Amino acid sequence: MNKHWLHADKDPMGRAIHDYYTTGRAERLRVFSSQFDEDELPVGELFRTFQQMPLLEQTALRLAKGRILDVGAGSGCHSLALRDMQKEALAIDISPWSVEVMQKRGVNAHLANVFDERFTGQFDTILMLMNGSGIIGKLKNMPAFLTRAKQLLAPGGCVLMDSSDLRYLYEDEDGSFLIDLAADYYGEVDFQMQYGKVKGEPFDWLYIDSDTLSAYAAQYGFRVEKLQEGEHYDYLARLSVK
C-alpha cells in the first residue's frame, strides 16, 4: 500500500484545485477507469459550501465533534464549513497542490498520508467524505486501515465515512445480481486522472457496501452504524471501537 504523497508533477486534481482557487475556473479534470467510460469531475464541486453539500455530508459535519481530522481534504471545503460551525479540524491530503490551496484558505492543513505511521495524533472524529472509503483502496487494505483508525482515535472517538454500494451497476432489471463471485469484490475500482498535460498515476478506490464494511470492522473490534442513506445507494457510516 502506498504510504507516500503525490509528486507535484503528478497531481492533476491538485493542479485543478489550484487553478480554480487562483483564477476562479479550471480546465476539464478527466477521469479514466478500466471499468467505466471516461468521465469528468466538476472542479467547482470540490469547492462546495455547506448548503451545496449532499445531506450525508451535512449530517457528518453536524455530528463531528472534539478534535476532528479531515482525511483526504481536497480543497478544504469540509474543514472550512466546520470552522464556520466553530469546530476545529486538522486537514490532511497527499496532494501537495491541494495542501497549498488549503493553507492559503486558512485551513490547518498538512501534507500527509493517512496510512503513514509517521502521521500521529488523537482525534475524536475522523472524517472521510465524498466516498471517503475510496482512500482504503482495496478490501485487503481494510485491516491496515482499521489499525490506523485505532491508532488515530481518541477514546470514545469515531470515524464518519460515506460510501456507496455499487451493486446497482451489476443488477439486472428484474433485480438479479450478475456478479462473478470468484472475481474481485465489485466495489474495487481503479481510476486515473488527467488535467491538461498533467496525468496522475492510476490508483485504487474502494466503494464498499455497508454489510461488507460491518463484517470487516467487526473482525477488528469496530462497531458500524449506518446513520443515513443517500439518494443513490450511498450511505453515511459511523465506525467506533467496541
Applying CB under 6 A, which residues contact ligand SAH? 13, 46, 71-74, 77, 92-95, 98, 113-115, 129-130, 135
SS3 content of the chain, % helix, strand, coil (to 5): 35, 30, 40
Taking alpha carbons only, the member of 124, 208, 198, 133 closest to residue 165 is 208
CA distance 87 to 199: 36
Residue environment code for 182-213, b if the CB has 16+ CB neighbours within 10 A, otherwise e: eeebbbbbebebbbeebebeebbbbbbbbebb
Taking alpha carbons only, the member of 162, 185, 169, 175 closest to residue 234 is 162
Nearer of residues 5 and 185 to ligand SAH, judged by Cβ: 5
CA distance 194 to 197: 7
Residue nearest to ligand SAH according to CB distances in the complex? 72
Min dist CB 46 to ligand SAH, Å, is 5
Residue located via cell numbers 491496515: 144
Nearer of residues 179 and 192 to ligand SAH, judged by Cβ: 192
Min dist CB 162 to ligand SAH, Å, is 9
Nearer of residues 44 and 211 to ligand SAH, judged by Cβ: 44
Min dist CB 235 to ligand SAH, Å, is 16
Min dist CB 155 to ligand SAH, Å, is 24
Min dist CB 105 to ligand SAH, Å, is 13
Nearer of residues 108 and 179 to ligand SAH, judged by Cβ: 108
Min dist CB 93 to ligand SAH, Å, is 5
CA distance 14 to 46: 11
* Cβ atoms 88, 68 nearer than 8 A: yes
Nearer of residues 130 and 169 to ligand SAH, judged by Cβ: 130
Nearer of residues 6 and 213 to ligand SAH, judged by Cβ: 6
